[in-house]
Amino acid sequence: MSNKNGVTVWFTGLSGAGKTTICMAVEEKLREQGYKVEVLDGDVVREKLTKGLGFSKPDRDENIRRIGFVAHLLTRNGVIVLVSAISPYQQVRDEVRQQIGSFIEVYVSTPLSVCEQRDVKGLYKKARAGEIKQFTGIDDPYEPPTNPELECRTDLETVKDSTAKVLAKLSDLGYFFESTISFAEESVLTSI
């Protein structure tokens, strides 16, 4: 199934909140249904597209603007774009929302204490020890969305629950229609 209209689904939240996990689960479900999907993961983008940028506020804002620009190009060409990026500042998130237009903000709202417990990369531990400066949630602010289209509480709901909420929102807004015909039924129908 090809997408008629593109949309950007922007997952924002602290490091370790579960943005990428939900994003990948949503991607899998959309691809299973034949949708054109691209994922822009903040860590991958920093390696490839914004390598020279640091973590000052101007550099973080520029990083988000570049992700937003790529998301805009894909969205206007009928792609469902899933962005997983901390994107800590409200003003620049609002800026990319305006630029993209078809934009769904998903706040992956997870308490800092839970994110620190997860800390698979050991980043919070390093930030607390002073080895990493300007770390979001520790010595650099995170500004929660004031009016997100959706909130996922990964400390209270499963990945499956969060994924279902995102797909339901895409469905409610007319971007996603899950096929009720299984692949086995499809092959029988085409052989008749």
pLDDT in tens, 108-167: 999 999 988 998 888 888 888 888 888 888 888 999 999 999 999 999 999 999 999 999
pLDDT of 183 higher than 90: no
User: What does the alpha-carbon distance between residue 74 and residue 5 come to, in Å, rounded to a whole number?
Assistant: 11
In this prediction the pTM is: 0.87
What structural domains does the chain harbor?
Answer: 7-191 (3.40.50.300)
- For the cut 90, the answer to whether the pLDDT of residue 83 exceeds it is yes
pLDDT score of 4 more than 70: no
84 a catalytic residue? no
pLDDT given for residue 161 in this prediction: 96
Percentage of the chain beyond pLDDT 70 is 90
Mean confidence (pLDDT) of the chain: 87
Instruction: Give CA–CA dist 90/143, Å, rounded.
Output: 6
Dihedrals phi, psi of 75, to nearest 5 degrees: -60, -45
163 phi/psi in degrees, rounded to 5? -60, -45
What pLDDT does 42 receive? Answer: 87
> Is the pLDDT score of 94 beyond 50?
yes
The catalytic position among 84, 87, 102, 162 is: 87
Residue 189's pLDDT is 40
Q: How confident is the model at residue 50 (pLDDT cuts 50, 70, 90)?
A: confident
- Quickly list DSSP for 43-112: HHHHHHTSTT--SSHHHHHHHHHHHHHHHHHHHTTT-EEEEE-----HHHHHHHHHHHSSEEEEEE---H
pLDDT at 1 over 50: no
Joined tokens for residue 145: 């969305």
